[in-house]
Amino acid sequence: MTDQKDWWRGAVIYQIYPRSFKDANGDGIGDLKGVRENLEYIAQLGVDAIWISPFFKSPMKDGGYDVADYRAVDPVFGDLDDFDGLLAKARDLGLKVVIDQVLSHTSDEHPWFQESRKDRTNQKADWYVWADPKPDGSPPNNWQSVFGGPAWEFDQRRQQYYLHNFVTGQPDLNYHNPDVQNAILDEVEFWLKRGVDGFRLDVINFILHNQDLTDNPPNPGVNPADRRPFTMQLHIHNQSQPGVINFIRRLRALTNRYDSKMLVGEVADDDGVRLSALYTSGNDLLHTSYNFSMLGGDRPSASLVRSSLETFAAQPGGGWPTWAFSNHDVRRVASRWHPDKDGFHHDPRLSQMLIALLLSLRGTISLYQGEELGLPEAIIPFEYIQDPQGKAIYPLPGRDGARSPMPWYDETNGGFTQSSPWLPVDLKHHDLAVSRQKSASDSTLAFTRQMLAFRKKHRFLRTGSIAFHGSGDDNLLMFSRGERENEQTMLCVFNMANGARRIALPTRSAEATPPFSSERFGTLVREEDRIYADLPAYGVIFVPG
């Protein structure tokens, strides 16, 4: 068994977007009581922990990632008593609780920023990133916001620009100021004292900037399909600065004063895999981190998965990764990696293969709410869009399609609320509701529960080694998982194509080990001195070594 102190190593963490999980008070918005009332469902999946996206006091200009008070629950989600009740029930069910911490920026309604913007001499004048205009009145440099347009907003009171890497209502904190670092550590410790088990650190590589405000160079490799101002630059000076590690080290020292806590960092960078490995190297930085290497792409491929894991493993320092296929910031993988890019169709075969793959990877796993149902991306009409990025890029898909309410029942509004939901429930999600899937033995929900039990049963699937086998076919992924201690190994094979096939295996074993009954699992065939696998479309096979 994994040591309790290292519970996070190889764990499966279920991400909850509370606004869309379950509405308990009937106002159309999910809340902490709704989370608490449905924790049994999550525990019965077989995951180890939950990660709750921001529920702090916020004007909600960016879905709660614009925090106005780090220590207060926004009334739309409840109050601190509701959180304490959730925490106590999770503990009773054996679930760890990880909460978001948005440390790189605050809301422009945060009292710190309200004081900072008053003038250039107040006590918090240097708590945010302020700079004078150029002589012609233009912004201090060419840095671009992730959400479009310059990353600078002019403030009439100070007659200066402030930096915002995201929406204008999210001014960036100045981590070059030690008072800011100390204040942030105090905010984090508030939640440690309250008993949380860990923190997911939003865009942790964005906390520092180059103080010289040097222009970013152009990106010579910009993707023609994603020519936004932000992607047209190499982000050398506005993020991922060397000093980030120094603050991470302070954050780790703080959490080490409390038993069995963990830090998982979100790394959004042009070279996210390597930076994730750097931020988790040694024993005094992040416990684990995730990046966007497998949260993009337009299809599942052996090269994508293999390059992500092998690149991470090749970095020095023995870092520990977290892997995810879906979250609240990207299109749901059931649609993003579906061959019909425009139809938003659901294919349970694809969804189940992806669940089997994700839960077979070496690392900690992040499973996004609804992924266990195989939910495809919801189509949100323009008049209902809430996401500021989604409004700006429409008709391209924004983030609301991944944030639509959880379908609990095949009924009006998916049983999410008795009121009008903050985002509409896509009608195609009704057929995939929890109530429909929980009693169907061949459902994606049943498959997910059984795969989670399979992963938990075999320690080598959580923390053992991984070695990839080449096939020359990008629709075929093969790797071995194992442990030296007990000499257990297992060959894991995934057919990423929508068509049955027979493939030769690098094994002499003639016995497959289906973890449970499912049409996803292939069969073995011996022909002369070779072992072959007959795999259905999106098929999987596990062969002990």
Quote the pLDDT of residue 545. Answer: 78
Sheet holding 488-495, edge to edge: 465-469, 476-483, 488-495, 540-544
95 in Cβ contact with 42 (< 8 Å): yes
Q: What is the mean pLDDT of residues 417-434?
A: 96
> What would the two tokens of residue 32 be?
């902490």
- In this model, does residue 341 exceed pLDDT 70? no
Task: Indicate if 259 belongs to the active site.
Answer: no
Nearest alpha-carbon partner for 332 in 276, 278, 399: 399
Q: What is the mean pLDDT of residues 1-13?
A: 85
Give per-residue pLDDT as tens, 435-489: 999 999 999 999 999 999 999 999 999 999 999 998 889 999 999 999 877 778 9
Beta bridge partners of 494: 477, 540
> What would the two tokens of residue 414 be?
């998916």
- In this model, does residue 324 exceed pLDDT 70? yes
Confidence of residue 542 (pLDDT cuts 50, 70, 90): very high
Angle, helix 272-279 to helix 244-255, in steps of 10 degrees: 50
Give per-residue pLDDT as tens, 233-267: 999 999 999 999 999 999 999 999 999 999 999 99
Q: What is the mean pLDDT of residues 306-333?
A: 97
- Catalytic residue from among 266, 347, 400, 426: 266
Quote the pLDDT of residue 217. Answer: 97
- In this model, does residue 343 exceed pLDDT 60? no
According to DSSP, residue 291 is labeled: -
pTM of the complete model beyond 0.85 = yes
Q: What is the mean pLDDT of residues 519-524?
A: 96
Q: What is the mean pLDDT of residues 43-50?
A: 98
Nearest alpha-carbon partner for 368 in 428, 256, 306, 448: 448
Q: What is the mean pLDDT of the chain?
A: 95
Quote the pLDDT of residue 1. Answer: 41
Give per-residue pLDDT as tens, 403-412: 999 999 999 8
* Lowest mean pLDDT, pick from 111-115, 221-225, 305-309, 502-506: 221-225
Task: Indicate if 266 belongs to the active site.
Answer: yes
For 163-227, the three-class secondary structure string (H helix, E strand, C coil) is ECCCCCCCCEECCCCHHHHHHHHHHHHHHHHHCCCEEEECCHHHCCCCCCCCCCCECCCCCHHHC
Q: What is the mean pLDDT of residues 79-85?
A: 98
* CB-based contacts of 362, cutoff 8 Å, min separation 6: 10, 309, 321, 463, 464, 465, 466, 481
CA distance linking residue 223 with residue 56, whole number of Å: 36
- Catalytic residue from among 82, 202, 377, 426: 202
SS3 at position 397: coil
Domains of the chain: 4-108+174-210+243-454 (3.20.20.80), 465-544 (2.60.40.1180)
